[in-house]
Structure 1
Amino acid sequence: MSFFKKVFSKVGIGAAKVDTILDRDLYRVGEPIDAIVKIKGGSVEQQIDALYFSMHCNYIGERENSEGEEVDVTRTATIDQFKLGESMLIQPGEEIELAVDMEVPLDAPLTFGRTKVWLKTGLDIKAAVDPGDRDYFQIQPDHMQANVFQALEDLGFQMHEAECEEASRWNSRLPFLQEFEFKPISGPYYRRLDEIEIVFNHGGDHLEVLMEIDRRARGFSGFLAEAMNRDETKTRFTISDEHPGEVLEIIQHIIDDNI
């Protein structure tokens, strides 16, 4: 019986299990995450060599189909990963609890639109299928990002889409960038702009904002400019601890200078 238990544990049957419990399910970028990891022994004694964690998200990439056309595909990126290398021996049915702390990376995507973020926990057990656990959580903007969103809303823009898209040329450690698309629905830029797209580059104590302003085509010259993609202006600016009203003034000044 003991022999069969050992064999089954190697293929994941009757093996140790792991469950991570996050202190909450909503965080802001840069915030700490406090978690409790519960490990429960299986039907046999097992040596756990390490406890590892990885943070993931989904993003949109492209691939060529059988007809040679580019089609969208959903891919997974690893945002961060680390492991606790302290080994432990867990007895059958034994329960172990560990307190673990980590941090949401500054360049982690916000969970807007279809973007999902999750934490994966695993046990490193030699000659066995590693048990794992997956926990989804939300990432919200910090105060600097929130100030940018609020300023655009106060100027009459509404977020139309938020997407993580593959961007290998982007100067980032991640294979994607997150774009936020805003369309004017009221205010001074209604019927004057098609949309504004922004991308954040978080520096910790400051926030760099890359902005693309898409002007609305007006008349034949505007139509030609739009056809040649000359109706788009790319710019960037940096904010830190400015008051929300000051952020609005900065963005309004930049838009007015580029339309």
Structure 2
Amino acid sequence: MDTVLESSSVFQGEVIRGDIHILGGDVEQAIEAISVKVCTQVKVETDSGINYSDFVLDAVQVVDTFTIGVGENRKLRFEIKLNDEVPITVLRARKNQCRVWLETALDIDFALDPKDRNYLEVNPLPVVADIIAMIEQSGFSLVKTDVEKGTFEGAHFPHAQAVTRKLSLKVAAF
């Protein structure tokens, strides 16, 4: 299986489109499902320390059960819309720890490699880019970015448990 994206450079809120290429093996096989997930790595702070774990921001099921024949080539089209708050990965920071990727998972018995990972370059929305530029023009520099697991309070967020981006700013003393 191989996931091929129209573009790996996207903006927050944009629709990602691509194709999933599947090549049948030596025997006919039933595929239970194929899903595409938007993932990031989150920092989780607990009393025992800091841990990092993969976190699914969104997911779509591309196809339900089907059978792929011996040596058959199949291409499945998909699209998934990024949330406007998806972490920005294209930032000028001394330590940028924000990563976002699409993970395609094939639900098939005895598969050797049922997952494919494609990293994304997530650019900020124009209004966010303008705010970052104004902060930098005011003499501040972005030191560190990461994604922390936490909660949001507000009606516009679909989940009580969500992900926050932490942007650490320091005055540039150059």
Relative to the length of structure 2, the TM-score reads 0.84
For 2:60, the equivalent position in structure 1 comes to 82
Q: Does 1:182 align with 2:169?
A: yes
For 1:149, the equivalent position in structure 2 comes to 132
CA distance in 2, matches of 1:85, 1:34: 15
For 2:50, the equivalent position in structure 1 comes to 72
CA distance in 1, matches of 2:133, 2:46: 36
Deviates further, 26-35 or 106-115:
106-115
RMSD between superposed Cα atoms in Å? 2.1
Matched residue of 2:133: which SS? Answer: helix
Cα deviation for residue 101 of structure 1 reads 1.6
Identity of aligned residues (%): 25
**Which of 1 and 2 has greater Rg?**
1
After the TM superposition, which parts of structure 1 deviate over 6 Å for at least 4 consecutive aligned residues?
A: none
CA distance in 1, matches of 2:3, 2:105: 10
Structure with the higher fraction of residues in helix conformation: 1
Counterpart contact for 2:62–2:78, Cα < 8 Å:
no
CA distance in 2, matches of 1:90, 1:80: 27
For 1:220, the equivalent position in structure 2 comes to none
CA distance in 1, matches of 2:170, 2:45: 25
* Structure 1: stretches of 5+ with no match in the other structure: 1-17, 65-69, 191-259
Counterpart contact for 1:19–1:37, Cα < 8 Å:
yes
Cα deviation for residue 122 of structure 1 reads 1.6
Cα deviation for residue 22 of structure 1 reads 1.0
For 1:35, the equivalent position in structure 2 comes to 18
CA deviation vs aligned residue, 1:9-55 (integer Å, no higher than 9, x gap): xxxxxxxxx11011122111011111111001011101223221111
Q: Does 1:131 align with 2:114?
A: yes
Cα deviation for residue 177 of structure 1 reads 0.8
Structure with the higher fraction of residues in strand conformation: 2
Pairs within 5 Å for 1:72-221: 72-111=50-89, 112=91, 113-125=96-108, 127-129=109-111, 131-168=114-151, 170-171=152-153, 172=157, 173=159, 174-185=161-172
One-letter amino acid of the counterpart of residue 79, structure 2 = D
CA distance in 2, matches of 1:38, 1:54: 16
CA distance in 1, matches of 2:86, 2:69: 37
For 1:19, the equivalent position in structure 2 comes to 2
CA distance in 2, matches of 1:109, 1:160: 16
Cα deviation for residue 145 of structure 1 reads 0.5
Count residues with an aligned counterpart. Answer: 163
Counterpart contact for 1:77–1:175, Cα < 8 Å:
no
